[in-house]
Amino acid sequence: MVITCVAGFMAALDNLVVTTALPAIRDDLGGGLADLEWTVSAYTLTFAVLLLFGAALGDRYGRRRLFSVGLGIFTVASAAAALAPGIDSLIAARALQGVGGAIMMPLTMTLLTTAVPVARRGAVLGVFGAANGLAVASGPLVGGVLTEHLSWQWIFWLNVPVGLLLLPLAAWRLNESYAPDARIDVPGTLLASGGLFGIVYGLINGHVEGWTSAPVLGGLVGGALLLAAFVRHGIVSARPMLPMRLFRDRAFTGINIAGVLMFLGMFGSIFLLSQFFQNALGYSPTEAGLRMLPWTAMPLLVAPVAGVLSDRIGGRPVVVTGLALQAAGLALFALVLAPDVSYPALLPALLVGGVGMALFFAPAMNVLMSSVRPGEEGMASGANNALREVGGALGVAALGAVFAAQGGYGSPRVFVDGIVPALWIGAAAVGLAALAGLLIPGTRRTDRTEPAADWEPQGQEDERQPVTV
């Protein structure tokens, strides 16, 4: 549990730890808005598109072996990021970090579930989920503290001794395991990777090279065509990484569309707001990270309540309410942001957005798991995580493009001119996510007199009578 929780914490932390360090990275290494966007998106994009492929590699060639490979890549890439002499080499190291994380992260859950008895899995997985939630909540603060009191390089150096400690522990304490008949879908991985890279490249570089330039148009059009080919591959292939038949289920479709749109609005907004606190309001990196906590740490407090609510009234109303509150929080930001806005004026937006995020995360996995057949839970979870990471990469690119078109880094006033319309786009995306949540069928509470016709009492296999639950 310790090995997998620490490894999962590292991978989840690197999603947001870099956000509060972006102004310091820009001052030290140079680069414009597009370079900062790639610093974030290079990790999330490679992580997203290789997530299912990494899980399949572990199932085929050994989960402990591939976990160690992924951890080793992640550790080496973290050192390369800390030593990066320029912005381009930092982006390359971040992409390599994403490769390592994509191999390592999905195998942490599999290794953990196979290592504990079934009766204890709920409690152990709860600890694992809390560790990942803590990583997301503390990311901006950890990045701010390290950047201010040491240097931005330490947000990457932090991973190196932890990785070097975990590698021998993994060889010593983890048992090797395989999955029979594991799927490795190389064509699907190439189509998804190429398509998403093309679209993100076009969105990030459109304001730099021109929206009608050949590279940008080629990236957008070519990316869309490759993604269309990926969808067709998922329909006609006998063993695709993401079977399109899963989307026939309204709950699976609704929760995945909602997840993509929610991450699009949330990640893109955090990318800009973490810089707003420093560039426009003049807070230090630590002060900026602390001021983000009412938003990012709220899931640690509200998630247990959201889980109880979803058990009692079903997942759909909790998910939709959470997304509506998250959209309202972003809209409140857009309404009050100004070069001289006070922090108390921002607190309602931070709190409302944080509660909304917490209400979404807690029941979303239950909705997802109930939408697929037994034996497909791993595939569904991997697809959902990958799609949400894709939404985050697209959010940074799309909201960054709006910010660049309407404002920039010239002054606090110019920064506000750019971030306000970007936040309205983010609020609209999360609002659409709430509408997508309505696709989820209403969850019927389990009736205590409902017959469970497929259940057999232990020791009475010859009596196939329905048993009252």
Burial 295-319 (b: 16+ CB within 10 A, else e): bbbbbbebbeebbebbeeebbbbbb
Q: What pLDDT band is residue 377 in, cutting at 50, 70 and 90? A: low
* The pLDDT of residue 89: 92
pLDDT at 116 over 50: yes
Range with the poorest average pLDDT among 26-35, 120-129, 201-210: 120-129
Tokens 């080793």, residue located: 72
Mean pLDDT of all residues in 380-402: 80
Mean pLDDT of all residues in 93-114: 83
Encoded tokens for 148: 């201010």
Query: What is the Cα–Cα distance from 55 to 256, expressed in whole angstroms?
Result: 19
Mean pLDDT of all residues in 368-383: 68
Q: What is the pLDDT of residues 320-362, one digit of tens each?
A: 888 999 999 999 999 998 888 888 998 999 889 888 887 887 6
Q: Which position has the higher pLDDT, 429 or 377?
A: 429
Encoded tokens for 440: 């989820």
Percent of the chain with pLDDT over 70: 84
* The pLDDT of residue 438: 87
Q: Which position has the higher pLDDT, 466 or 19?
A: 19
pLDDT at 462 over 60: no
Query: Are 337 and 416 within 8 A, CB to CB?
Result: yes
pLDDT at 274 over 90: no
* The pLDDT of residue 340: 86
* The pLDDT of residue 69: 93
Range with the poorest average pLDDT among 102-116, 252-266, 455-469: 455-469
pLDDT at 227 over 60: yes
Q: What is the pLDDT of residues 20-73, one digit of tens each?
A: 788 888 888 877 777 887 888 788 888 877 877 887 788 788 888 888 999 999
* The pLDDT of residue 463: 38
pLDDT at 79 over 90: yes
Mean pLDDT of all residues in 92-98: 91
Predicted TM-score (pTM) of this structure: 0.78
